[in-house]
Structure 1
Amino acid sequence: MMKFALAFEDAKAHARRVYPEESCGLIVGGKYIACENIAADPTTHIDDPDCPCRRCSFEISPSVYVNHADNIDVIVHSHPDGPFFPSKGDMKCQIQTGKPWAIIALDEERTAEKPVIWGDDIPELLGRQFMHGVTDCYAVIKDAYALGKDALEKQGIPGWPYDPIVLPEFPRSDAWWEGGEDLYVDNFAKAGFVETTDTPQPGDVFLMKIRSSKENHGGILVGNDLIVHHLPSRMSRREPAGLWGRQATRWLRYKGNADA
């Protein structure tokens, strides 16, 4: 996305002009088009994650969007005073549009140097910085399956048994396990997985609980008796499977034929 560097500079300037409301715009043909945010007036603001006012959300006129729909490179919006990662609503809307999305985070004094972009190319599986909804523990699982054995071999991850498989994205709230959501338990069958008590094999997914009553962490078993996973305080990495395998509360195996 560095090819859009100048467009993102224009998007950052737009975000600063309309702060503390959310900015919104489209990168079309490599150029940024600033759009009017037609979400509700800020005087209607409510203290709720789903507040529909312009301080908390954005809406682009359907006529403007349709006019550019076939040529959109990226859909851009700002997050005044954070967070710098996508909300559950952002994730849902990105899936609906099928376009890459970007967030420009800023506060009263500072604007983030780099936008957060997701829904485009898959980054290297190892050495990622953790970001909720973009490069988190489920993203490692989903992206490993999407890359497939040949691409993973090129990244130094041997023993993966599958060609590329597209797993569904599941929009999720930050710290979802502290609320009413249960990302893995509610959705693993929808993604084509079944629980297994057989000896784990490469391609299997493990779940575990980390300071939670819910299974809030997952990773994958790869070749050479290694796992790949991503914890919030660390880069994504390979580690020996033994310790993590003993702590696993559940192993899942991909069978396909995901639930509707």
Structure 2
Amino acid sequence: MNEETKKAIADHALAAYPRECCGLVVLHNGAERYVPCRNVAGAPEEHFVMSAEDYALAEDMGPIVAVVHSHPGAPARPSMADKAMAEKSGVDKWVIISVGIQGDGAVAAEDWCEFGPTGYVAPLVGREWAHGTLDCYGIVRDWYRLERGIDLPDFERAEKWWEDGQSNLYMDNFAAAGFVDVGQDAELQPGDVLLMQIRSKVPNHAGIYLGDNIMLHHMYGRLSGRTVWGGMWAHALRTVLRYKGNAA
């Protein structure tokens, strides 16, 4: 990136502090240009969700050559979520700028990092939470890809879709993903998706049954992990989804 582009990014990151800024570098009329975008995340101090409208407008200006965001008060080092999003993006370059409070109380840009897709897959156990990428459906997709060699479709999902009173992500899409509903009383098999309803009007959490009474799942705002199936989880169960190749 040239110095003019870096200055435009730094100015945006400083103006957005303590929120994460996000934007795109495009080639417009053959020249590099930074296009600031809106961060529409529910908690913009913690992560970014780039406005789809802003992304489309930037695409109309020219080819996208880099995705940019800031890390307020944190190192310019890609998180698990950053690396996972880079894999999904189709953009070869990602740029992080760190921004922090200096000794004199001023806010300033501190460091830069560039990275790109490398085939990264977050570990199934201990992965950070990031809605739309590293969430409960994300771990279902990654488990099926790593353990069964099956690529499940991804689905666009707004943050906290389970609270809007209209969305029903799992029930609306399980058939398109290749699953059948075998009911909550089914005898569990490894690979079954345990569909639960937790403080919601619709089923909003899913785990993978691993066998031996163990479930792998990724709860909102927590690290992913294995847990014993039963208790509160079984009480929240609404149905069991079985991949069509496993269904009797």
TM-score by length of 2: 0.63
Match of 1:3 in 2: none
Note the alpha carbon deviations across 1:202-233, whole angstroms, 9 max, x for none.
10001111111111111100032200011123
User: Which letter does structure 1 place at the counterpart of 2:138?
Assistant: A
Cα distance in 1 for residues equivalent to 2:5 and 2:241: 42
Unaligned runs of 5+ in 2: 16-20, 38-49, 73-78, 101-106
SS at match of 1:24: strand
Which residues of structure 1 form unaligned runs of 5+?
A: 1-6, 27-32, 40-48, 66-71, 149-162
Kept in 1: contact 2:80–2:122 (CA 8 A): no
Tell me the residue number matched to 2:241: 252
- The answer as to whether partners of 1:22 and 1:77 remain within 8 angstroms in 2 is yes
Alignment correspondent of 2:211: 223
- How many residues align? The count is 202
Whole-angstrom distance in 1 between the partners of 2:235 and 2:200: 17
- Quick one: which amino acid aligns to residue 58 of structure 2? E
Q: How big is the alpha-carbon RMSD for the aligned residues of Structure 1 and Structure 2?
A: 4.3
2:160 alignment partner in structure 1 = 175
Equivalent in the alignment of 2:25: 25
SS at structure 1 position matched to 2:151:
coil
Identity of aligned residues (%): 31
Shift of 1:25: 2.4
Distance 2:220 2:36 in 1: 35
Alpha-carbon distance in 1 for matches of 2:182, 2:236: 15
Alpha carbons of structure 1 residues 79 and 213: separation in structure 2 relative to 1, 3 Å: farther
Alpha-carbon distance between aligned partners in 1 of 2:236 and 2:204, rounded to the nearest angstrom: 13
Alignment partner of 1:140: what SS? helix
User: Aligned residue for 1:164?
Assistant: 149
1:136 corresponds to? 135
1:167–1:128 distance in 2 versus 1, CA, 3 Å: same
Alpha-carbon spacing, 1:111–1:138, altered in 2? closer, same or farther (3 Å): farther
Alpha-carbon distance change, 177 to 115 in structure 1, aligned in 2, over 3 angstroms = farther
Which one has a larger percent strand, Structure 1 or Structure 2? 2
- Matched with 1:126 is 125
